[in-house]
Amino acid sequence: MNKTKNCRNTIQKQLIFEAVYALQNHPSADEIYEQVVKSAPNISKATVYRNLSLMSESGEVLKIAVPNASDRFDFNTMPHYHMLCTGCGRIFDVRTDAFDIMEKISAGEELVITGYTLIFEGKCSCCR
């Protein structure tokens, strides 16, 4: 497959990124589609899903795999942690620099860790 084709900055791709950024709530692909279709009524759900997949593979957006739920997407691609509220299902950024899991796991080992998914579970202030 031609890498240049995957890296193109199409109007659809721009609209999808703008939706992820505008929602800023770690939206699902369906929520992103609902946002995008407001300004591009002819866009298909398949186009949104395909572009989200390409964008997460290229690092333009962060895909958050949520256990037993739809994947979520984040415009913030810097390393950070997430919390899933078990009450309302929302995803929140966890702001901490207290530990670096990858560094601790690979220290002194012959491991090369290329990524990880870590989601804390708990209740947000509204659901407590």
For residue 16, is pLDDT > 70?
yes
Q: What's the whole-number mean pLDDT along residues 1-18?
A: 70
Could you give the CA distance from residue 74 to residue 128 in angstroms, rounded to a whole number? 25
Compute the average pLDDT of residues 58-67.
93
Which pair of tokens denotes residue 86?
């078990």
The domains of the chain are located at 3-74, 81-122
Q: Is the pLDDT of residue 5 over 50?
A: no
User: pLDDT per residue over 69-98, tens digit each?
Assistant: 899 999 999 888 899 999 999 999 988 765
Strands (E), the chain: 62-64, 72-74, 81-85, 91-94, 119-122
Candidates 3.40.640.10, 1.10.10.10, 2.30.42.10, 1.20.1250.20; CATH matching 3-74: 1.10.10.10
Q: Tell me if 3-74 shares its fold with 81-122.
A: no
In words, the CATH class of domain 81-122 is alpha beta
In terms of DSSP bridges, do strands 81-85 and 62-64 run parallel, antiparallel, or are they unpaired?
A: unpaired
pLDDT value of position 70: 93
Q: Using pLDDT thresholds of 50, 70 and 90, give the confidence band for residue 2.
A: very low
Q: The whole model's pTM is what?
A: 0.81
Residue 106 · residue 67 · CB < 8 Å? no
Say yes or no to pLDDT of 106 above 80: no
